Amino acid sequence: MVFHMKTTLNIDDTVMQRLREEAARQGRTMSELVEAGLRLVLSESSGPPARLPDLPRWQSGGELVDVADREELYRVMDDR
């Protein structure tokens, strides 16, 4: 069984006019076109997430202090 829900949307007048024209051109209802468009948008957004770019890398010159040694960290920070 298929259920349909009535809803209210605010659509820009120019978009609505184009929707009316396209629905008439295709011989379909505006609801059919809106639903098809929503299905298309939702199917595209449910794909795999976009790959994030790699983080930048640089040569830092190496470690100056063992970060696990709290006392050494305090000594180095106090000296600067």
- CATH code of the domain covering residue 16: 1.10.1220
CA distance 42 to 36: 10
Q: What pLDDT is attached to residue 5? A: 85
Query: In this structure, is residue 66 part of a structural domain?
Result: no
CA distance 45 to 56: 28
Query: What is the total count of domains within the chain?
Result: 1
Query: In this structure, is residue 76 part of a structural domain?
Result: no
pTM: 0.53
pLDDT tens by residue, 21-32: 999 999 999 999
- What is the extent of the structural domain holding 38? 7-46
pLDDT tens by residue, 16-58: 999 999 999 999 999 999 999 999 888 876 667 778 888 888 7
Query: In this structure, is residue 13 part of a structural domain?
Result: yes
pLDDT tens by residue, 56-80: 887 877 777 888 888 988 888 887 6
In 3D space, the residue among 36, 27, 34 whose CA is nearest the CA of residue 7 turns out to be 34
Query: In this structure, is residue 71 part of a structural domain?
Result: no
Structure-token match 């202090």, residue found: 65
What is the SS3 assignment for 77?
Answer: helix
Q: Provide CB contacts within 8 A for 64, sequence distance 6+.
A: 76
